[in-house]
Amino acid sequence: MPQPHHRALLVQARNETPLLRHLVLEAPLAARAGHRLPGQFVEVAVRPDGPGAYFALANPPGAHHFELLVKQGEGVAAQLASLGAGRSVWISTPMGPGFPIDAARGKDVLLFATGSGFAPIRALLFALLERRDDYGDIHLFFGVRREEDFPFREELERLPARGVHTHLTVSRRPAALPDEEGAGRNGHARYVQERFREVLPPVENAVAFLCGIEGMVHGVREALAEAGMEPADIHVNL
C-alpha cells in the first residue's frame, strides 16, 4: 500500500464537535492525482518516520486540498487533533476503491452515515451536488449520539435548499425533550434506520451508500431489504 511520503501543509484546523476536528491539508499534485472517487482514504503521519493512521477523505476529487474529519482519541489521531495551521504532515496517495458513483447516475440516492462516518459520505454528497441534474432525489440520513455531535452544522442546514432531503437523528436525546421538537433542524430521536422506515422513500430506482458503525450498517441493510432494495444496490464503505 502507498506510504505517507508526500508532505502536506495543514492550512486549516478547527473543532467541529467536542470529539471531531476538521483538518484541511494543502496536498501536492502527486497525491491529488490518486484521488479518483469519493470514499477513498489516505494514511497520515505526523512525522516522516513516524507511525501512520488511516482517514477517509471528506471532500470529493478535483480539489487542491484534502479534508479530514479526525476523531480525537489516542495515537496518531490525538497527535493530528493537537496540531494547528502551519504544521506539516505526511500523507499517502489516496487508496481504496471508493464509492461507485456511476452506479447512481439517473437514480435516486440514499445516503446513510453515523458519527465520523459522515466524512466519506460528505465527499460523495458534494460529488453528487457538482452534477445535481444527473441524479434523482437525494436523501441523507445522518445520526449522532448527542445534539452537539453534528459536524458541519451550517452545511447541513443549507442542504435542503440544494435539493437534499436531510434527516438527522440523535440516539441519546434527553428524555425531557419531545422526539419531534426541532426535528427539522436538530434531528429526530433514535437511529437512522428507524427514520428511514418512517420516511420510506421509494427504492425501486434507487441506490444506497453507507458508512458508519457496524450496528447501523446491519440495521440499514435490513430496513432497505424490507423496503425491497436489492443487495447489489447497497454500497458500504467501512
Tell me the pLDDT tens digit for each residue of 13-60. 999 999 999 999 999 999 999 999 999 999 999 999 889 999 999 999
- Taking the C-alpha atoms of residue 113 and residue 116, their distance in angstroms, rounded to an integer, is 8
> In this structure, which amino acid lies at residue 156?
L
Residues in the chain: 238
pLDDT at 238 over 50: yes
Q: What is the per-residue pLDDT across 123-138, written as a single tens digit (0 to 9) for each?
A: 999 999 999 999 999 9
What's the confidence (pLDDT) of residue 234?
98
Q: Which residues contact 219 (CB under 8 A, 6 or more apart)?
A: 191, 192, 193
Residues 6+ apart with CB under 8 A from 31: 6, 8, 42, 66, 91, 92, 93, 94
Residue 180 has pLDDT above 50, yes or no: no
Strand order of the β-sheet with 41-45 is: 52-56, 41-45, 88-91, 6-15, 20-26, 65-71
Q: What is the CATH number of domain 6-91?
A: 2.40.30.10
Task: Identify the sign of the CA torsion 121, 127, 130, 135.
Answer: negative
* Residue 176, pLDDT above cutoff 80: no
Which grid cell sits at 149?
455531535
Residue-level pLDDT at 73: 84
The whole model's pTM is what? Answer: 0.92
* Res 20: pLDDT: 96
Q: Rounded distance, CA 88 to CA 196, Å?
A: 42
Query: Is 80 exceeded by the pLDDT of residue 177?
Result: no
Residues 70-129 have pLDDT tens digits of 998 889 999 999 999 999 999 999 999 999 999 999 999 999 999 999 999 999 999 999
Q: How far apart are CA 216 and CA 234, in angstroms?
A: 13
Phi/psi for 201 (5° steps) reads -70, 155
Per-residue pLDDT tens digits for 145-162: 999 999 999 999 999 999
Structural fold of domain 101-236:
Rossmann fold (3.40.50)
Question: Residue 3's pLDDT is what?
Answer: 76
Give me the pLDDT at residue 170, please.
Answer: 94
- Rounded-to-integer distance, Cα 5 and Cα 49, Å: 9
Residue with cell 505517507: 4
DSSP letters along 151-207, please?
SSHHHHHHGGGGTEEEEEEETT--TTS-TTTTHHHH-EES-HHHHHHHH----TTEE
Residue spans per domain, the chain: 6-91, 101-236
Q: At what angle do helices 192-199 and 214-227 cross, to 10 degrees?
A: 20
